[in-house]
Amino acid sequence: MLKPLQKITLAASGVAFSLVTALYANPTQAATVAYDFSVSIPDGTYGGFFEYDDEGLSSSGFDQVSVSEFFFDFLGVEYTEVDVPDATVDFQDGSFIALSIPGDNTPFTFVPPSLSGGDSLFVVPEDQIVGNITYTLVEQPPEAPPENPAVSVPEPSSGVALLMLAPLGIIRGLKKQQ
């Protein structure tokens, strides 16, 4: 049976260890995700790309996130994220569906499957042009290791945590002597 002092020491050590672990836990970070896309219409195929930050996406239900970068070369005109401020990336249950561009500032519209009733469509209403859009996820290369890799040095907090656990060893030693 543990004595009151042993119980207090054990509880304090456990709390201290938990706090140290929580303070140095690495939080998850959002990633920038990029897609290439191509638009196929009777006059030809046109391409571009877009990027978005996946922070805040949930794994259930419908989500939309804003586009952080956009480039599309269509009929010799280059469109960027400035030209499509209302562009969103649509998700269902955490899975990519399509890029959605309402066409308020451009002559074209990117219609997601939820509105077209089928595939992602590219529409130029004025010229009555309709085409298909295909998307390709751009695999991000892994980060290159630094040229001068850092040497692992124990943090002072690790030593403090070990010192906080020392009373447990002392208690066990005393217990064995009795």
Compute the mean pLDDT over every residue in the chain, rounded to the nearest whole number: 79
HSE (side-chain half, CA atoms, 13 Å) at 142: 3
Name the more confident of 166 and 43.
43
Between CA 50 and CA 33 the distance in angstroms is 8
pTM > 0.75: no
Q: Check residue 178 and give its pLDDT.
A: 64
**Burial class for 84, CB neighbours closer than 10 Å (0-12, 13-18, 19+):** buried
What's the rounded mean pLDDT across residues 25-50?
85
Domain boundaries, the chain: 32-138
CB atoms within 10 A of CB 146: 7
Total residue count of the chain as it appears in this document: 178
Backbone angles phi, psi at 90, to 5 degrees: -100, 140
Please say whether the dihedral angle defined by the alpha carbons of residues 163, 165, 171 and 177, taken in this order, is positive or negative. negative
CA-based R_g, the chain, Å: 28
pLDDT in tens, 76-105: 999 999 999 999 999 999 899 999 999 888
| CATH architecture of the domain covering 32-138 | Beta Barrel (2.40)
Q: Which pLDDT score is estimated for 117?
A: 75
Q: Note the pLDDT of residue 173.
A: 62
**pLDDT of residue 74 exceeding 90:** yes
Quote the tokens at residue 145. 């290791």
- SS3 for 164? helix
Q: Which tens digit of pLDDT belongs to each residue from 121-149?
A: 999 998 899 999 999 999 876 666 667 66
